[in-house]
């Protein structure tokens, strides 16, 4: 199938054609779509002869390290370039871009490629934002396909296919969530045909937890608390403190998988996962099944995200944060 002309996408392609040096980056607390889309774009840009840096001031979660082995990740202070384009991928909010302010400010052009509903296109000069897309990997895929059609060449190789398949899988809950569209399956088909290593990716993403992760999960599930909304639907919350992570030697970026347990309970409409990043700083993940737009709740706390998956931060103790967010979630029913 031929790619479509999409004005925003074609401005990104023009910017890629017109420039030689690129910084690819994404949001704090990297996930599969973050690393997959950034490194998929990284490989594509290198293939067409561009100089590319992967800049990210955060740790890559252990289940995603396999994707980033062949690409050197640098931190903002290590970037030594004067004239570059910054590509911010999968980032709906300027505050969450995981580089220093200098790296953002010194870019000659800033480009945002993203699928968050809460992204108001206010922090980059060029924007390709489609909140209907399953993942940012799907937008990167559209760009690479479109560029290939324009040049009558196929740029997707096994490496790009595997990187993009990873983000497609994680952001669709491996093709379960409502964000999974017919186009997601079409993309998966093409990536598999191009050699995406699905079995390896699935094992790395979903079948490589450490025994200590399960011990922490046990403690986390013991904090489960359930509240009933006025319409009889349920709200579930789970908390993980720094002490719990320390006890089991599990890192802050390695526990995002726990979020789904809050939502996967019968009759639960909204799941809340609270994790303590630092004393007094609580990162909150919100998930919903059918009716509640959790991005609207997250935005009340300067966060954002998607209708069914969003996040924010509350600066308080974990106990207070749980009370505050639960009360706000119950008000949304
Ligand atoms: P998670 O709960 O997995 O951290 O995030 C769910 C979704 O909401 C992701 O798409 C993520 O990028 C977005 N998100 C999480 N936290 C924030 C936040 O503090 N601000 C914004 N704008 N988006 C967030
Ligand atoms: Mn994403």
Per run of 10 residues, the mean pLDDT along the chain (length 333 residues) is 79 98 97 98 98 97 93 97 97 96 97 94 95 97 97 98 98 95 97 98 96 98 98 98 98 95 98 98 98 97 95 98 98 98
- Which pLDDT does position 6 carry in this prediction? 80
Ligand 1 pocket: which of 31, 310, 315, 321 to mutate (most atoms <8 Å of CB)? Answer: 310
Ligand 1 pocket, 309 CB below 6 A?
Answer: yes
| Angle at CA of residue 274, ends 307 and 213, nearest 5° | 110
Cα distance between residue 46 and residue 40, in whole Å: 10
Tokens of 83: 């004239």
Cα distance between residue 35 and residue 44, in whole Å: 14
From the CA of 284, give the closest atom in ligand 1: 2
Cα distance between residue 201 and residue 304, in whole Å: 28
CATH fit for domain 7-205, picks 3.30.110.40, 3.40.50.1970, 3.90.1640.10, 3.30.420.340: 3.90.1640.10
- Which pLDDT does position 1 carry in this prediction? 66
Within the chain, all domains assigned CATH 3.90.1640.10 are found at 7-205
- Which pLDDT does position 3 carry in this prediction? 72
Tokens of 67: 């994707």
Strand order in the sheet with 126-129: 73-74, 51-55, 21-25, 85-89, 109-114, 126-129
Q: Helix, strand, coil shares of the chain as percentages rounded to 5?
A: 45, 20, 35
Ligand 1 pocket, 100 CB below 6 A?
Answer: no
Within the chain, all domains assigned CATH 3.10.310.30 are found at 211-331
Q: Nearest residue CA, atom 21 of ligand 1?
A: 304
Cα distance between residue 282 and residue 317, in whole Å: 7
CATH fold, domain 211-331, is Diaminopimelate Epimerase; Chain A, domain 1 (3.10.310)
Q: Nearest residue CA, atom 15 of ligand 1?
A: 311
Q: Nearest residue CA, atom 13 of ligand 1?
A: 305
């Amino acid at each position: 199938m031929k790619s479509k002309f999409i004005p925003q996408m074609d401005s990104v392609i023009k910017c890629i054609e017109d420039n030689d040096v690129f910084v690819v980056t994404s949001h704090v607390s990297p996930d599969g779509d973050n690393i997959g889309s950034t490194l998929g774009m990284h490989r594509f840009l290198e293939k067409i002869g561009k100089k590319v840096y992967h800049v990210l001031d955060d740790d890559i979660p252990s289940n995603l390290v396999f994707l980033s082995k062949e690409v050197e990740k640098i931190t903002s202070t290590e970037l030594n370039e004067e004239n570059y384009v910054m590509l911010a991928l999968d980032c709906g909010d300027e505050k969450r871009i995981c580089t220093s302010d200098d790296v953002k400010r010194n870019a000659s052009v800033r480009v945002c490629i993203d699928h968050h509903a809460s992204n108001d296109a206010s922090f980059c000069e060029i924007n390709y934002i489609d909140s209907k897309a399953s993942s940012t990997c799907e937008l990167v895929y559209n760009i690479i396909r479109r560029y290939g059609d324009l040049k009558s060449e196929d740029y997707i190789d096994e490496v790009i296919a595997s990187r993009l398949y990873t983000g497609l899988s994680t952001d669709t809950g491996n093709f379960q969530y409502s964000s999974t569209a017919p186009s997601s399956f079409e993309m998966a088909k093409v990536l598999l045909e191009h050699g995406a290593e699905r079995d390896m990716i699935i094992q790395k993403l979903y079948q490589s937890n450490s025994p200590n992760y399960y011990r922490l999960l046990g403690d986390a599930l013991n904090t489960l608390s359930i509240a009933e909304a006025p319409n009889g639907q349920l709200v579930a919350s789970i908390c993980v403190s720094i002490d719990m992570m320390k006890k089991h030697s599990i890192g802050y970026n390695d526990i995002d998988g726990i979020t789904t347990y809050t939502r996967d309970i019968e009759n639960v409409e909204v799941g809340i996962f609270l994790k303590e990043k630092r004393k007094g700083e609580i990162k909150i993940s919100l998930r919903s099944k059918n009716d509640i737009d959790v991005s609207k709740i997250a935005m009340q706390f300067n966060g954002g995200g998607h209708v069914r998956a969003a996040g924010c931060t509350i600066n308080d103790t974990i106990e207070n944060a749980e009370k505050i967010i639960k009360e706000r979630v119950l008000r949304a029913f």
